[in-house]
Amino acid sequence: MRSLGHRFARNVALVLASTLVFAGVASVAACKKKPVDAGPTVTSSSGGATAPSAGPSVDPLALASAVPQGPTLAAVALTAWIYQSASKASPRIGYLRSGAIVGRSDKSEGSNGCPGGWYEIKPYGHVCAGEYATTDLENPVVKVTKLRRPDLTKPMPYRYAFVRSVSPQYLKIPSKEEQLQYEFKLENHLRWYKKHEKELAIVTPGANDVAELDRGKPVTVSGPMFEGVKEGKGKKGKKGGKDSDDEGDEASSVPMTPEPASPAAPVAIGANGDAGADAGDAAPLARPPHDLSLLELLGAENATEPSPWWLQGGERKIPHLSAFIAPKYAVIAARVKRHTGLAFIDAFTTGAEGNFRQFAVTTDLRLVPASKLKPNTGSQWHGVELAGDFTLPLAFAHANAKEHKSTRCFRIDGASPKEDGELVFRQAVALTGKDKTVGGTRYFEMKDGRWLRKNDIIIARKPDEWPAFAKGSQKWIDLSVMKQTLILFEGDKPVYATLVSTGQDGIGDPKTSKSTVRGVFKIRDKHVTTTMDANEVDNKFELRDVPWVQYFEAGYALHAAYWHDEYGTPRSHGCVNLSPIDARKVFFWTDPQLPPGWHSVTAGDEAGKGTIINSHI
């Protein structure tokens, strides 16, 4: 495992890099509510990443990897609720996740329904010390999880993977005998895995490999086509094909990722000298992901990382954090179905005690065999920042959406258009606002004088009629269900535009179909990650720790969709799917702002009002 000194040095570097690279973020993310006390002086530590503060003088990402000085409180559960006042009857206004460390009051404010005592935390709210939170930073759960917090500087805040084959979720390092007991046809699986181990570790560069300074710039070079999780069959075309050795779960249950991208792909790894420095405990991605071992892709520091101290000696030394109740003697805590999306905070290899297998550690501290996993890096695609001449109206190239092929450009000097170059799939270009029809086909003019066919593009433009709230510097989001566009506005000034995937049933009735709700809403609550209902995330299978979730109506949210790359095409069950890069961008732009150390925040008197979303046809 990593030394504390190593983690400390890396996190200090991250704070300094964040201060330099993201210095301009504070002005963009400034909120419209009353100033929030940023809490006591902070100092760099090996604690995990925290969120941008809403305080007007604080650089948001400079607080990553910082913990407060003075009295502190730490979360020891996946959800440690924050209450408005020192009572569980008061409204919940957010929550902390295990490993979060926040400043607190010197003394408790009573024990009303809370034997461990209520503490006021920074910048506001109250937490009950006891089962879900503690003032003891030497608590074993705190010591493990404070180093494995989600990295808020990354579009994919954890390491992610899909389950290729039904798997137990172990509570301890299982012996060979226990593995044979709990894993169906294990010997067949291990033989199959030995043959395919190298190809299973192949991934294309993903969302975290795009340098911060390149997020928001138009993509002009076509990279590898990202493939998300899909249902599959064995080579014989049916479940349990000849190549499938685990109830039909192997062979093609999750597609093999294409070969690594060529040097021309739009990947800017290490553009700031340390693009992969991680605020948590997962391995830095300073190397391209296709150069990493499977273990490193799942969060390990290196390909031979040994088991952590809390799992050594055959006994587990800290509790697991899942809701699944298991007796002390239990070896597993439930099974996980294939195609499930999981997030990981660490990974390690074992010796004879674990049958020489590798395991990945989930966010709730359960163990999944690495041989059952296919790493996921998320799409590299993202929207564009708008400024100067590069503003609305603009077009996203969207011909041949299923195959992500290029879009042809034309010159129209006479009666017949002539081809003149092409745009890569979803490339954004500024338009002049002029259009013409030639031979029954409508064309729109780019600012360089070339033309694009209407059916080959998605156009993002200003509204025909401005809503009443589009005044001054009021932040609001324009969402077009028909066009699949999302535009961030400050008053009547557009600042960012991208493509999304809304409900697959288009402009149908959301009450009776898989359509996105329309109307004017406000963001209600925000979550760095959360496990969403399968119906919410348009997936038949569980997806844990979906990043950058922002609910604006019951059952409807903006969130990252790391499992597909079809932005610009309707496909959800009603939620608004964004690429991981875009989802993080929008998350930190909207209100309410997430206080340092919090995993979730709810709009209200303390946090302020949520950003307006105008969803329309």
Instruction: Cite the beta strand spans of 104-142 per DSSP E.
Output: 118-120, 126-128, 133-134
What does the pLDDT read at residue 534?
59
d(CA 67, CA 28) in angstroms, rounded, equals 24
R_g of the chain computed on alpha carbons: 25
Are the C-beta atoms of 136 and 314 separated by less than 8 Å?
Answer: no
- Residue 532's pLDDT band, with cuts at 50, 70 and 90, is confident
Q: What is the token pair recorded at 337? A: 């179905």
What does the pLDDT read at residue 219?
85
Does residue 571 carry a pLDDT above 70? yes
d(CA 163, CA 150) in angstroms, rounded, equals 21
Query: pLDDT tens for residues 122-177?
Result: 999 999 999 999 999 999 999 999 999 999 999 999 999 999 999 999 999 999 99
Does residue 242 carry a pLDDT above 50? no
Amino acid identity of residue 194, one-letter, is K
Are the C-beta atoms of 337 and 380 separated by less than 8 Å?
Answer: no
Count of residues in the chain: 617
Least confident range from 71-75, 259-263, 527-531: namely 259-263
What does the pLDDT read at residue 400?
85
What does the pLDDT read at residue 279?
39
d(CA 488, CA 386) in angstroms, rounded, equals 9
- Residue 2's pLDDT band, with cuts at 50, 70 and 90, is very low
Are the C-beta atoms of 101 and 63 separated by less than 8 Å?
Answer: no
Q: Name the residue among 440, 467, 464 with its Cα closest to residue 454.
A: 440
4-145 to CATH, choices 2.30.30.40, 3.40.50.1240, 1.20.1730.10, 3.30.420.240:
2.30.30.40
Q: Name the residue among 91, 187, 177, 15 with its Cα closest to residue 596.
A: 15
Neighbours of 381 (CB within 10 A): 23
Q: What is the DSSP string of 267-281?
A: --TTTTS-TT--SSS
Average the pLDDT over 544-550 and give the result: 97
What does the pLDDT read at residue 224?
57
Looking at per-residue confidence, does 535 or 210 come out higher? 210
Query: pLDDT tens for residues 412-462?
Result: 998 889 999 999 999 999 999 999 999 999 999 999 999 999 999 999 999
Are the C-beta atoms of 60 and 52 separated by less than 8 Å?
Answer: yes
Which residues, in sequence order, are CB contacts of 479 under 8 Å at separation 6+? 485, 486, 500, 502, 516, 576, 613, 614, 615, 616
What percent of the chain is predicted at pLDDT more than 90?
Answer: 72
Looking at per-residue confidence, does 239 or 594 come out higher? 594
d(CA 128, CA 55) in angstroms, rounded, equals 25
Report residue 429: phi and psi, to 5°.
-135, 145
d(CA 177, CA 491) in angstroms, rounded, equals 64
Neighbours of 490 (CB within 10 A): 16
Helices and strands: H and E segment counts in the chain: 7, 34
What does the pLDDT read at residue 68?
84
Q: 123: cis peptide before it, omega within 30°?
A: yes
- Domain 393-460 sits in CATH at 2.30.30.40
Task: Write the DSSP symbol of residue 5.
Answer: H
Q: 592: cis peptide before it, omega within 30°?
A: yes
Instruction: Provide the whole-model pTM.
Output: 0.84
- Residue 354's pLDDT band, with cuts at 50, 70 and 90, is very high
Q: Which residue has the tokens 């969803």?
A: 615
Looking at per-residue confidence, does 454 or 289 come out higher? 454
Distances (CA, A) of 214 to 84, 207, 397, 539: 39, 11, 19, 30
Amino acid identity of residue 344, one-letter, is F
- Residue 51's pLDDT band, with cuts at 50, 70 and 90, is very low
What percent of the chain is predicted at pLDDT more than 70?
Answer: 77
What does the pLDDT read at residue 289?
77
Burial track 574-594 (b if 16+ CB lie within 10 A, e otherwise):
bbbbbbbbbbbbbbbbbbbbb
Does residue 20 carry a pLDDT above 80? no
What does the pLDDT read at residue 54?
36
Average the pLDDT over 314-343 and give the result: 94
Amino acid identity of residue 607, one-letter, is A
- Residue 269's pLDDT band, with cuts at 50, 70 and 90, is very low
Residue 235 buriedness (CB in 10 A; 0-12 / 13-18 / 19+)? exposed
Residue intervals in the chain for CATH 2.30.30.40? 4-145, 393-460
Does residue 230 carry a pLDDT above 90? no
Q: Three-state SS for 13?
A: helix
What torsion do the CA atoms of 8, 276, 153, 281 make, to the nearest 10 degrees?
-40
End-to-end CA distance of the chain: 52
Which residues, in sequence order, are CB contacts of 107 under 8 Å at separation 6+? none
Average the pLDDT over 557-565 and give the result: 96
Neighbours of 31 (CB within 10 A): 21
- Residue 359's pLDDT band, with cuts at 50, 70 and 90, is very high
- Residue 227's pLDDT band, with cuts at 50, 70 and 90, is low
Does residue 250 carry a pLDDT above 80? no
What does the pLDDT read at residue 541?
73
Does residue 258 carry a pLDDT above 50? no
512 conformational bin, left if phi > 0, alpha if psi -120 to 50, beta if neither: alpha
Residue intervals in the chain for CATH 2.40.440.10? 475-616
Average pLDDT, the chain: 83
Average the pLDDT over 194-205 and give the result: 90
What does the pLDDT read at residue 199?
86
Q: Name the residue among 30, 61, 123 with its Cα closest to residue 277.
A: 61
Q: Three-state SS for 261?
A: coil
- Residue 271's pLDDT band, with cuts at 50, 70 and 90, is very low
Looking at domain 475-616, its CATH class is: mainly beta
What does the pLDDT read at residue 554?
93
What does the pLDDT read at residue 115?
94
What does the pLDDT read at residue 533?
66
Does residue 275 carry a pLDDT above 90? no
Looking at per-residue confidence, does 558 or 273 come out higher? 558
Query: pLDDT tens for residues 476-507?
Result: 999 999 999 999 999 999 999 999 999 999 99
